[in-house]
Amino acid sequence: MTDQPMPPNRRPGPPRRVPPPPQRAQPGARPGVYQPPQAWSASPEAPRQAGAGNRYAPTQRPEPIPVEPQRQSRRPDRNDRRQPPPPPRKPPSGETKPPRPKRKRRLPIGKVALLLVVVLLVGSVGLLFYYDNKLHRVAALTSYTGRVADTPGTNWLIVGTDSRADLSQAQRNRLATGDSDGSRTDTIMLVHKPPSGSTMIISIPRDLYVPIPGQGSHKINSAFNFGGPHLLVQTVETLTGVHIDHFGEIGFGGFDTLVDAVGGVNMCLNQALNDPKAGLRLKAGCQDLNGKQALGLVRTRAFPNADLERVVNQRKFLSALMSKATSPGVLLNPFALFPFINGAIDSLTVDENDHIWHLAGLAFALRGAPVTTTVPTGGSEYTGDGDSLVVGDNTKRFFEAIASGRTVDNDLLSDQGGAIK
């Protein structure tokens, strides 16, 4: 149907209905029954004609559509509680993905342990230098003309003075120290740690009559009063021929503090002691001594041999105190260890070249069972200073063995007397 131009002056009307063209009846079709048109291939006997009269297209057989094999879905098991992760949510256009939350990193146990060790080590070193800077120091081991050269082993000169300078009047009354002025050496001990063998605690009697450089001959304890620690060290080195490596001084004011810091020291006495001058009243037998009682024990001379028996008590008590201070009950207990260290720092005076680790080495050297003895003498003699003890051949033999690093002969050792078992 072709479109024709509408004549002028004619109104448009509804479009005409054009009947469909008549369909040609198919060969063999029954009248009144609709039959679909057949292609030429439907009648194999009909020859194929070429040209305009061929109105039928060749038969096209549809090919089957390939079907993808369906994946067998895994039916969830009732006992399997694992759920597949939800699909990632795609942010809408223009929206950025939210940042993933950062996971907290946990340090392995090995690194945590190493960190704790480093913290403890740094803290211990810091405390060590802190307490070392608090030590009281004095120039006791300064060089002088003709000083004894270095000798085998390590040698400490320990001095116990009767100085009351750091005590208040209430402390003097409580400890029964009296009110004497000045500072004298009630105790002189040489601690010798040989290259091999046991440590020795050697008491030097304060009444030993010896030459004092620049002062003539006097009792050895007067050297401290004449020239302080330096002159006492020079006097001892001249007498013994032993080179002094370290110096320590302790007065009345700190001794009781050290004992109380470790909770007292257990001592076994073979006799009862009663000395009003030293403020001492103890019964016989084993008992724990506090600071006041311990100070009275090392000060008392209420014995037949007076000072010679007192030095025996001093050596035994010093060894017992160091054993208690270096025991696990004190070293592992900060409530006992730090008061002891503070007491030692406040009461001790050392040489300007000594340090707190030297004091720790001294404490461990004195624990256990050191050899304790008193320097042998040539007997008593009356001198310009009164009754004194003179130097004999046995005294020289004793110190020659110490200076050469040899073992001292048993006949030169003496540990008799005293009130401590």
CATH number of 195's domain: 3.40.630.190
| Whether 175 contacts 251, CB under 8 Å | no
> In 3D, which of 299, 296, 332, 311 has the Cα closest to residue 418?
311
| Whether 163 contacts 335, CB under 8 Å | no
Other beta carbons within 10 angstroms of residue 341's beta carbon come to 19
What is the H or E stretch that residue 185 is in?
Answer: strand 185-193
- Helix/strand/coil for 162: coil
* Residue 129, domain member (yes or no): no
| Residue whose pair of structure tokens reads 């009862």 in the numeric block | 272
Q: How far apart are alpha carbons 54 and 52 in whole angstroms?
A: 5
Q: How far is CA 168 from the centre of its chain?
A: 37
* Residue 103, domain member (yes or no): no
* Residue 2, domain member (yes or no): no
Cα three-residue angle 59-60-66, rounded to 5 degrees: 155
| Residue whose pair of structure tokens reads 């950025």 in the numeric block | 96
* Residue 179, domain member (yes or no): yes
Q: Is 297 left (phi over 0), alpha (psi -120 to 50) or beta?
A: alpha
> In 3D, which of 156, 122, 104 has the Cα closest to residue 361?
156
From the CA atom positions of the chain, what is the Rg in Å? 56
- Amino acid at residue number 293: Q
* Residue 18, domain member (yes or no): no
* Residue 43, domain member (yes or no): no
Q: Provide the residue-wise pLDDT of the chain in tens; the chain has 421 residues.
A: 445 555 555 555 566 666 666 555 555 555 555 555 555 444 555 555 544 445 555 566 666 666 665 555 555 555 556 666 677 666 666 556 666 666 666 667 777 777 777 777 777 788 888 889 999 999 999 899 999 999 999 999 999 876 545 555 554 444 444 445 555 677 899 999 998 888 999 999 989 999 999 999 999 999 998 999 999 999 999 999 999 999 999 876 667 888 888 889 999 998 888 888 878 889 999 999 998 888 888 888 877 777 788 888 888 888 899 999 999 999 888 888 888 888 888 888 999 999 999 999 999 998 878 999 999 999 999 998 899 999 999 999 999 999 999 999 999 998 767 788 7
Tokens for 41? Answer: 């291939």
Question: Does the predicted model carry a pTM greater than 0.75?
Answer: no
* Residue 164, domain member (yes or no): yes
Tally of structural domains, the chain: 1
* Residue 124, domain member (yes or no): no
Domain range holding 391? 137-412
